[in-house]
A and B are shown apart, each in its own frame.
Chain A
Amino acid sequence: MKESIQQVIRTIDELDIDAICSVVQHCLDEGISPEEIIESGISTGLSIVGDKFESGQYFLADLVMAGEVVREAMPVLQEKMNPDMTAARERVILATVQGDIHEIGKNIVGLILSANGFEVIDLGVDVSASKIIDTARTTGARLIGLSALLSTMVGSIRDVVEASAKAGIRNQLKIVIGGACTSDDLRLEMGADAYGETAIDALRIFKGFIAAT
Chain B
Amino acid sequence: MSQDKGIFRKLGKPLLQGMIPPPGLFPEKFLDALSGLCSLRGKVSRLTNVERLITTLRHREPDRVPCCPLVISGSRRLIGASFPDFALKPETTTRALMAAFDLIGGEVVIPMLDLSVEASDFGQTMIYPENSTPHPDYDHPLITDHTGYQKLKRINLRDARRMHSLVEVLRIVTRQVGMKGVVSGFCFGPLGVLCMMRGAEHLFRECILYPTEVMAALETITGVLAEFIEAQCETGVAAITLDTLFASHNGLSKPLWEQMEGPFVRELSSLIRSKGCIVGVHNCGHGSYFDSQIRFMEPQIMSFAELPEGCNTLGELKKRYGDQVVLMGNMNTSLLAHAGPCEVIQDAKRLIEALADGGGFVLAPGCEYPPNAPLENAFVLAQAAKLCT
Contacts and interface: CB of A to CB of B under 8 A. Distances in A.
B333 A181 contact: yes
Interface in B322-347: 333-334, 336-338
Contacts of A183: 334
B250 interface: yes
Interface residues of B, number: 28
Interface residues of A, number: 26
Interface in A17-74: 17, 53, 56, 58-62, 64-65, 68
A56 B287 contact: yes
Nearest to B284: A180
A152 B131 CA distance: 11
Given A61-B207, A101-B138, A154-B338, A107 B201 contact: yes
A151 B252 CA distance: 24
B208 interface: yes
Contact of A65 (B208, B250, B334): B208
B370 interface: yes
B138 to A, nearest CB: 7
A15 B208 contact: yes
A99 interface: yes
Contacts of A64: 200-201, 204-205
A10 to B, nearest CB: 17
Given A56-B287, A61-B204, A64-B204, A151 B253 contact: no
B200 A152 contact: no
Contacts of B252: 59-61
B373 interface: yes
Contacts of B371: 152
B144 interface: no
A181 B251 CA distance: 17
A56 B337 CA distance: 29
Nearest to B74: A152
B175 interface: no
Contact of A58 (B207, B253, B337, B372): B253
Nearest to A152: B372
B387 interface: no
B370 A152 contact: yes
Contacts of A210: none
Contacts of B338: 151, 154, 189
B151 to A, nearest CB: 23
- Across chains A and B, which 9 residue pairs bring their CB atoms closest together, nearest first? A61-B204, A152-B372, A151-B334, A151-B337, A64-B204, A152-B370, A59-B253, A61-B252, A104-B200
Given A61-B208, A152-B370, A154-B337, 17 more contacts: A17-B209, A53-B249, A59-B250, A59-B256, A60-B204, A60-B252, A61-B207, A61-B256, A64-B205, A65-B204, A65-B205, A104-B201, A125-B138, A151-B333, A151-B370, A152-B372, A186-B334
Interface of B: 131-132, 135, 138, 200-201, 204-205, 207-209, 249-253, 256, 287, 309, 333-334, 336-338, 370-373
